[in-house]
Amino acid sequence: MNSSPHQNVSGISRNARILVTGHRGLVGSAIMRHLTSLGCQQLLTATREELELRSPERVLAWFENHRPEYVFHVAGTVGGIWANSTRPVDFLHDNILMQATVLRAAWQTGVQKLLYLGSSCIYPRNCEQPIRETSLLTGPLEPTNEWYALAKIAGVKACDAYRQQYGCHFISAMPTNLYGPDDNFDTDGSHVIPALIRRFHDAKLAGQQTLTVWGTGTPRREFLHVDDLAAACRYLIEHYDEAGPINIGTEIEVTIRELAERVRAIVHPSAEIVFDKSKPDGTPRKLLDVSRLHRLGWRHQIELDNGIATTYQWFLDHPDKRRSSALAPALRGEG
């Protein structure tokens, strides 16, 4: 098989064996919910204790035993600016190993189709906006998430390499900033929306009226609800089969200041927001060009205000899944 377009890929059988790596995480749990809602009967999962994705031998043995037909590879080591800057080896080493073992086992056991999920941070810091897929590797990366981006770029290219050498139907998708149920609400390692929700909520309970956000508040970001991402991933695995990344986003952007104000209105309306301009902003603007995805026939359904409100409600309904509170550290203005 070559890398020419194959837009009429048949749908996944509801009896197909489908592996979702990282099924307990933000994206993996959303894909599980989506596939379950469609009536898929054979969803394959493995906990970290059951399967070490960084071990080639254990991953291959698992694939040989369970024989998945489709794979959504979404497991990975993720985090915001602070986590990226303090744990560069973890972000580079763990992600490269996980994707290398899963892709190779998928090829060795004849998986029909694999979707590899990357991140919009693979694109250069100062590339033309909105960001087209062709911008990949055209300039320097954003330093605050360089190591994670490098690992994800390696995954995209690995999918293309397996496609070129072995004819594998491996595709790669690049989502914009995500949020939603099952997110990480620990402000030391989370992205901006769950961090804002947690900080405003804890401040409200503590009677705290002032919250500090890192940076100037001027960077612009787009945000995609994870349930929309799950629907897009399933749509792509059924309707898309090309080399190179395809973007998943909304084409709608807001400043970090506007985002903080929207979360405040839902969680803690009386709070005052203070921006610490001595702290880094991250990439000035990051908006994905999703025209290719729109031409395929898919668009997002969940608007930002409704998504924030339902995510906050999920946070309130699941106190057992919250991680440690962190009122002291300032919020990082990065998605």
Sign for the pseudo-dihedral over CA of 258, 268, 84, 250: negative
Q: What are the residues facing 288 on neighbouring strands?
A: 131
Dist CA 237 CA 224 (whole Å): 19
Q: Identify the active-site residue in 148, 162, 179, 240.
A: 148
* Residue 148 falls in the annotated catalytic set: yes
> Residue 66's beta-bridge partner residues?
none
**Do residues 73 and 116 touch, judged by C-beta distance below 8 A?**
yes
The reply to whether omega before 56 is within 30° of 0 (cis) is no
- The residues that bridge with 255 in the sheet, in sequence order, are 220
Classify residue 309 by burial, with Cβ atoms within 10 Å: 0-12, 13-18, 19+.
middle
Q: How far apart are CA 115 and CA 113, in angstroms?
A: 7
Active-site residue numbers? 148
